[in-house]
Amino acid sequence: MRTLAVLNQKGGVGKTTTVANVAAALAKSGQRVLVIDLDPQAHLTIHLGTDPRQIARGSYQVLTASVPIAEAAAQVRENLCLLGASVDLVGAETELVSVVGREIILREALEPVADRFDYLLIDCPPSLGLLTLNALTAVQEVIIPLQPHFLALQGLGKLLETVAIVRKRINPKLSVSGILLCMFDRRVTLSTEVRNDIEKFLSSARGTDCAWSQAQVIPTAIRPNVKLAEAPSYGKTIFEYDDTCNGANDYRSVAEFIHHSLGKPIPAAPAVVEQSSQSSSESKPAEVIASPAEIPSPGISLAEPVATGIERPTEPQKPMVPDTPQFSAPTPSHATPVTPVSTVESIPTPISENVPVKPSESENISVTQV
């Protein structure tokens, strides 16, 4: 059984939509698929046409009462079984806080049914708590759905660090196999910049032993499509709701790529060492292992100015939070150059649009009329 967790601690990026429709596409192709809803909001359960209030046995009972998955899972489509969720999952972390081995409960529960399915897909909650930890412990691959926006990139580094820790301490077979760009608009320059930067970051990890060394951006991005938002309200997958729309075509291609290509070994790219000054070459090794903190941000770096109309003296940058990846907002081509973002210690009080503010003499700030 091939096991995958669809994970991102940011909400609204397409986790549930991806699990429901990729699972449906795999099931239509003849694969035996089990999907598990670990989100207390039970959106995957609703998406597949099941009322969470009527679930007597689901993922909550499997985690807290040792109910076998074979008894709790229900067949909702041909070749597709669902282990549903309910609001009771909210209290699961509290109830399991004193249980020894609480992070491997789901993995042990899946062992008796491993030969009954070809695929396992887990819809993770938008958090990095115990429920997500159980999912990461139970699977071998992680797919990260991501919007091509600056704020969506903010938590990617932290998410990769979490995967790396679980891989090191609990599940050595865990790896990030793919990143799926959702709501991808090819007409927007930012979307292309984000995609190129992520591909460059993943390429730099080839040949290393990090958890994302074999990860790749899934070639088919999910285009904005209102049909994908309408289908859950009818309890249908996109293929049942409108089999000819862009959303159906995109997820059909994603499922085919996951089945045939994703997770296959990728050869390491030849190392390219740029010539630099002697001091630079001595301070940095020729081969650098990519880390989450090195994830590039689209467009510009924090060292470049930002268009705000306020001039500030140049000061050395300080990290906002130690060991936390830093990202920078992209600057449109028509924007005026601006100063770097201030650190946490020096963030000024928000300026009201209607109240004039006297610049500080120590900062030598000059306010220009916009």
Question: Would you say the pTM of this structure is higher than 0.75?
Answer: no
Residue 368: per-residue pLDDT: 44
Q: How far apart are CA 45 and CA 26, in angstroms?
A: 18
With cut-offs at 50, 70 and 90, classify the pLDDT of residue 127: confident
What is the C-alpha end-to-end distance of the chain, expressed in Å?
A: 60
* DSSP annotation string for 87-133: GGGGGHHHHTTT-TTGGGHHHHHHGGGGGG-SEEEEE--SS-SHHHH
For the chain, give the mean pLDDT: 79
Residue 264: per-residue pLDDT: 74
Residue 242: per-residue pLDDT: 95
Measure the CA dihedral 333/337/343/347, to 10°.
-110
User: Domain map of the chain by residue range?
Assistant: 2-260, 300-370
Residue 137: per-residue pLDDT: 96
pLDDT in tens, 339-360: 444 444 444 444 444 445 444 4
With a CB cutoff of 8 Å and minimum separation 6, the contacts of 201 are 290, 294, 295, 296
Res 272 pLDDT > 60: no
More confident site: 331 or 26: 26
Look up residue 362 and give its amino acid.
Answer: S
Res 273 pLDDT > 80: no
Kindly tell me the burial class for residue 82, based on how many C-beta atoms sit within 10 Å of its own C-beta (0-12, 13-18, 19 or more).
Answer: buried
CATH superfamily of this structure's domain 2-260? P-loop containing nucleotide triphosphate hydrolases (3.40.50.300)
Contact (CB, 8 A) for 298 and 330: yes
Region 111-120 average pLDDT: 95
Res 28 pLDDT > 60: yes
Instruction: Select the highest-mean-pLDDT range: 150-164, 239-253, 259-273.
Output: 239-253
Residue 367: per-residue pLDDT: 43
126: how many CB neighbours lie within 10 A of its CB?
A: 17
Res 283 pLDDT > 50: no
